[in-house]
Structure 1
Amino acid sequence: MIVFCGYGNSDLTVNVPALPGPGSRVQALGIRRHDGGMGANAATAAARMGADARFAGVVGPDLLSTAFLDGLGAQGVDVAWTSRRGHLTTAVILVTPDGERSVISQDDDVTEEHVAEVVRSLSRAGGGWLYLDGYRFPWAAPLLAGAPALRTVVDMDGCESAEAAEAALSVAEHAIIGRTQAERLIGQGAGAAAVSHRTHLLVTDGAHGWRLHTPAGDTLAGAAIDVRVQDATGAGDCFVGCYLAELERGAEPVDAARFAAVAAGLSCTAPGARAGLPDRAAVAGYLAGGGTP
């Protein structure tokens, strides 16, 4: 079981010829609404890999939230642990023709009390994998430190300070962070941080691949795949969800990272955060074909 406690969004995707600068005005090439959100996207990616994925975010009691949860259920994600005592957040995503994007997002209603209840529920269920994003730190760290039955993966996107990053690393069995953010929050000491916190620290760098730092002090690297990018929205979420799904299946972290990198690359070949999410057969076929989608 993998419980994804994090963002669920209604994404408003606006295709633009170029990202606007201060005071500028651009004409939209297209506007579409998609379901999204870091936690919900990662849960969907894991479910498409065959994992027992459960979304434990917070949405509202409204019809749009119902449709959002129905969409997750149709992808095989269990939504029974989702709270409906808040609201479904909106994200505005600007996407350029080469697939680059900028995101404007809202805070959600995943509170300390909600995370504590999810931790208790997962512990009562016998434990399992728990996904959290970096926006929940540093306050989430004490909640996880007292729950040894949980195996925690933190997507450190959202850690806004070195203190938050330190707190996330202190409780994460696995942590995933983008290269730019790693340089800002951890500096050049990613390998040392993995050893000192006894965690697997996976640094991703988009088209430049990834680097895995292990608790034993080893550093392993892998490449991204070469695809025609339509929209990179949600590629990082896909990576995290598929990485977690492979860990749950018993894969070694380096093999899980290689698998997740293929899935994330394939996810960029369609618009929106979820339309391009591959299933296990697609990723396996790409790997078996020596790099042919």
Structure 2
Amino acid sequence: MGRVFVAGSINMDVVATAERHPRVGETVAGEAVLYFPGGKGANQAVASAKQGVPTTLIGRLGTDAFGQELRTFLAAQGVDLAFVKDTAGTHSGTAIITIANADNTIVVVPGANAQVDANDVAAPVLAKGDVAVSQFEIPLPTISAFFRRARAAGATTVLNPAPAKQVDKDLLDLVDILILNETELGVLTGAELSDSDTPARFAEAARSLARGKIVCVTLGRRGVLALVENQPLLVAGREVKAVDTTGAGDCFVGALASQLANGRPLRDALTYANIAASICVQRMGAAPSMPTAQEVGAVLSASRPGEGRDP
């Protein structure tokens, strides 16, 4: 079995729920305020660790109360925190989230996440068969340094370019598997896309990013479209009643990484990750909503009894 290493952000999510989102300049009455561990790096690490795969998180926390709570929570989920540093003089990453009708708006304040550097990602020793995962909530030069080390060690690199921003070709060339949604695909390619577009339209846009890598476009309830050697592979999603979509994409990334580290074929790994994300959206919160391997396995067995065997 390989291991999963996640270099990324660790946040406390401060969540306000309301009947609807306010318009610009408007105040609406909220229903509740909740606190959940989050951050894309932490979410993805928890999603992987809960599948029973050895998972190490690389990142930074502030020396504040949120930092202490986050460290305690992540350790309880089985995430290896040997490479998570406490950083004086700054606060832990914080996300301000509004949820209305299962849709969310998010403002992220990076705090200690902005100080994750090349020295941090140089500390862990990766090996062939490992999976190195990162996202865009830590500095891009740090991600490049992480992926260069991973590539040199023979590990598989997985990038989730979120929150979406322009990125140079040199970083993308270090990526083996790119996982993004339609919004992020539009930002990286300059294409005008919407969630109602056909899979063929997404495949057309994704081809400009492929250049020898696998591109996975997550389509929510419609599933995921993977472009493998320029050939589209569509894996159907699972219809559920969503309660909170925060962290669903991170759940997909972490679950997929765990299955790749286990040596699963790509189609099986995509199916598994889809199911994990469908369970995640039926719960409140980001990191706390990540399902266990037993929960995913139960759905997998019920929906496709033969799933899990190599074709």
Structure 1 length as normaliser, TM-score?
0.90
- 1:201 maps to 215
Measure, in 1, the Cα distance between the counterparts of 2:170 and 2:143.
6
Q: Which residue is 2:95 aligned to?
A: 91
CA contact (8 A) 2:144 2:171 kept: no
Does residue 256 in structure 1 map to residue 269 in structure 2?
yes
Q: What's 1:11 paired with?
A: 13
C-alpha spacing 1:109/1:137, structure 2 compared with 1 (3 Å): closer
Count of paired positions: 284
CA separation of 1:111 and 1:180: change in aligned 2, threshold 3 A: closer
Structure-2 residue corresponding to 1:100: 103
Residue 182 to residue 103, structure 1, CA distance change in 2 (3 Å): same
- Alpha-carbon offset, residue 191 of structure 1: 2.4
Native 8 Å contact 1:8 1:59 kept in 2: yes
Structure 1 residues 192 and 183: CA distance shift in structure 2, 3 A: same
Q: Which moved more, 1:151-160 or 1:71-80?
A: 151-160
Give the C-alpha shift of residue 132 in structure 1. 1.2
Q: Aligned to 2:75, what secondary structure does the other structure show?
A: helix
Partner of 1:64: 66
Q: Map 1:116-155 to 2 at 5 A.
A: 116-123=118-125, 126=127, 128-136=130-138, 138-140=140-142, 142-143=144-145, 144-145=147-148, 147-149=151-153, 150-155=155-160
- Residues 36-59 of structure 1 deviation map (CA, whole Å, 9 limit, x = unaligned): 111001111111101111111110
Give per-residue Cα distances to partners, 1:50-104, cap 9 Å, x unaligned: 11111111102233312211100101011111011153111111111x3111101
Residues 229-276 of structure 1, C-alpha deviations (whole Å, 9 max, x = no match): 111111111000000000000012222111101100100111111333
Q: Is the 8 A contact 1:267 1:277 kept in 2?
A: yes
Aligned to 2:281: 268
Distance in 2 between the 1:135 and 1:284 partners? 31
Q: Distance in 1 between matches of 2:77 and 2:119?
A: 25
User: CA 1:31/1:63 → structure 2, altered by over 3 Å: closer, same or farther?
Assistant: closer
Question: Are 1:5 and 1:115, in contact at CA under 8 Å, matched by a contact in 2?
Answer: no
Query: 1:138, 1:57 → 2: CA distance?
Result: 14
Match of 1:109, as an amino acid? Answer: A
Q: 1:100 to 1:251 in 2, by over 3 A?
A: same
1:226 and 2:230 are equivalent in the alignment = no
Range with bigger deviation, 58-67 or 171-180: 58-67
CA distance in 2, matches of 1:44, 1:79: 11
Instruction: State which of 12, 22, 25 in structure 2 corresponds to 1:23.
Output: 25
RMSD over equivalenced CA pairs, Å:
2.1
User: Are 2:174 and 1:171 aligned?
Assistant: yes
Write the distance in 2 (CA, Å) between the matches of 1:9 and 1:135: 10
Check conservation: 1:47, 1:76, Cα contact below 8 A: yes
Letter in 2 for 1:181: E
Contact 2:240-2:282 at 8 Å conserved across structures: yes
Deviation at 1:165, TM superposition (A): 5.8
For the residues of structure 1 that align with 2:29 and 2:304, how far apart are their CA atoms?
A: 37
Identity of aligned residues (%): 24
Query: Which of 246, 249, 256 does residue 236 from structure 1 map onto?
Result: 249
Give the Cα separation in 2 of the matches to 1:137 and 1:56.
13
Distance in 2 (CA, whole Å) between partners of 1:217 and 1:132 is 23
What is the one-letter code of the residue matched to 1:288? S
Higher strand share: 2
Find the counterpart in structure 2 of residue 157 from structure 1: 162
TM-score of the two chains, using structure 2 as the length reference:
0.85
Q: 1:104 to 1:74 in 2, by over 3 A?
A: same
Contact persistence 1:137–1:168 (CA under 8 A): no
Unaligned ranges ≥5, structure 2 = 192-203, 306-311
Taking a change above 3 Å as real, the CA distance of residues 122 and 93 of structure 1, as seen in their structure-2 partners, is same
